[in-house]
Amino acid sequence: MLLNVSQLLMEASGSVREYELDERIGLLDNSREDLVSGEVRLLKTTRSIWVSALFTSDVVNQCDRCLAPFSQSVHMDIEEEYFPALDPATGGRSQPENADDDTLYIDENQMLDLTPMVQEYASLDLPMKPLCKSDCAGLCPNCGVNLNDSVCQCDTALRDPRWGALLDMVGNSSQDG
């Protein structure tokens, strides 16, 4: 999601550019690219460009309980300030006051790259433990069957381990007879 802001950087403070974007980028750690759609508004300030953007996407996520893939909607409401790495008037390096490691920069070619910020906001919108549905039953801990699709045949009776040997003897004798 690259935007050329060279002309905007040369304009007066208060100048605005608006864009509608539909691009495919990878939002999750997998190699699949998701369609991200939305609007971007760029506002030139005295020293930077203020980015206001609203994006949506549907990502294919994996349920944390049953491991099934499912589609999940992601909404990103971005408000960030980007500083030019080079002063557009002089071409020299510029460093904003109070710059730190989190300061966002426009590259030397006056290209503003929104991709890392969109990926960061998407990861913040996604739940830490994604569920395909709120009442997902998950997987059987014994046989691994998806309990949303079928009922497992595992013996789920709770047994007191102190009686384990006797219960095994009773279980074997009932099968013999």
Q: Are the beta carbons of 83 and 104 closer than 8 angstroms?
A: yes
Name the percent of the chain in helix, strand, coil, to the closest 5: 20, 35, 45
DSSP secondary-structure letter at 43? E
Is the per-residue pLDDT at 53 higher than 90? yes
Torsion angle in degrees (nearest 10) through CA of 164, 169, 174, 177: 170
Q: Shortest CA distance to 24 belongs to which of 32, 15, 34, 14?
A: 34
Token pair for 177 = 């007879």
pLDDT interval class at 34 (50, 70, 90): confident
Strands 49-62 and 16-25: unpaired
The domain spans of the chain are 2-125, 137-177
Q: Are the beta carbons of 35 and 57 closer than 8 angstroms?
A: yes
What's the rounded mean pLDDT across residues 41-62? 92
Task: Look up the pTM and report it.
Answer: 0.72
Question: Could you read off the pLDDT of 108-160 as tens digits, one per residue?
Answer: 888 999 999 999 999 899 899 999 999 999 998 888 888 888 888 887 666 77
> Phi and psi (nearest 5°) for 42?
-110, 125
The per-residue pLDDT of the chain, averaged, comes to: 84
